[in-house]
Amino acid sequence: MNVPAVAAVVAAVALSLVGLLIAWRAWRGGRRRVPAAVAVLCAWGASTGLWISAFGAEIGTALAFESGSLLALAFLLTRSERQPARAVRERPPPQAMAGKRPARRWRAVAYCLLAGPLAFVAALSLGLLVALEAPFQEQTRLIVGGLAVPSLWAAMIVATIALRRPGVTTLAFVLATGAAAAVVLGR
């Protein structure tokens, strides 16, 4: 690294720390949160700009996030609150609830199938729609469509388990898959 790059890195780290300190003071004080948020964003934005100036947009942006995360965690460790040790008090076991339905294994299996292969096929179908129809250049369409699949699958897994409405999620997945099939067959 040359001297200007080293200077940029030092300044970027310092600005990240300044942003953290402002955020911490605002958090501790509990007042004037909006001006503090603006100041924090400015400091972190300037820090990212310095990382980019030293290493280019691709590497600089990644380094800004990674160094920022590490600095924040190191700062948190210095601010941790030590509390007096407390033994865990165990409560007596709760009474079994009368009339409570026993857990059904088939339900768990159904959710696994829904969040696993069915959600994957639906995510793949939506990715296919992007790959075929998005207004990008050919390679970009294919790759962005492919890259979208894991994120869509992850979101569908969360939705399936959080909603707990297997009928609704199955219908949504079937619709997504059907739409993609219609587009592929219609070409």
Partner 1 sequence: MPLSSPIPGSFTKAVLGAHQWLGIVFAALIYLVCVSGTLSVLADEFAQWEAPSAPRVNSAAAGLYARVAAAAFAEARAGGADHDLFVFGPTPELPWLRVFALGEHDGPGAPVELEWLADAEGRLQAPPRTPWTRFLRDHHYHLHLPAPYGAWAVGAVGTLLLASLLSGLLAHRRIFRDAFRLRRGGSRRVSLADLHNRIGVWALPFHLIVSLTGSLLGLAGLIVMLLALAAYQGDQDRAVAALLGPQPGSDHAAAPLPETVPMLREIERSTPGATITSVVFQHVGTAGQLVSIATAEPRHLARNERWTFDGQGNFLAKAGFTDGSVGMRIYGMLQPLHFGTYGGIGLKLIYVALGLGMCLVVATGPMLWLARRRGQGRPLPAAERLWTALVWGQLPAYAAAALVALLAGTADHVLPLAVYWAVTLGTALLAVRGRDEWRCGHRLRVGGGLLLAGLACGHALSWPAGLPAARVVNGLLLVAGIALVVGVSRRRVRAWRPE
Of residues 65 through 94, those in contact with partner 1 by CB under 8 A are: 65-70, 72-73, 76-77, 79-94
Q: Which range binds partner 1 by CB under 8 A, 10-18, 32-40, 99-107, 171-179?
A: 32-40
Burial class (CB in 10 A: 0-12, 13-18, 19+), 48: buried
- Determine the straight-line distance between the first and last CA of the chain, rounded to whole angstroms: 53
3-state secondary structure of 29: helix
Nearer to partner 1, 14 or 62 (CB): 62
Question: Rounded to an integer, what is the distance from CA 75 to the centroid of its chain?
Answer: 22
CB 19 within 8 A of CB 40: yes
CB closer to partner 1, 161 vs 171 = 161
136, 170, 172, 174: residue in contact with partner 1 (rule CB under 8 A): 136
User: Which listed range, 21-29, 42-50, 96-104, 167-175, lies at the site for partner 1 (CB under 8 A)?
Assistant: 21-29
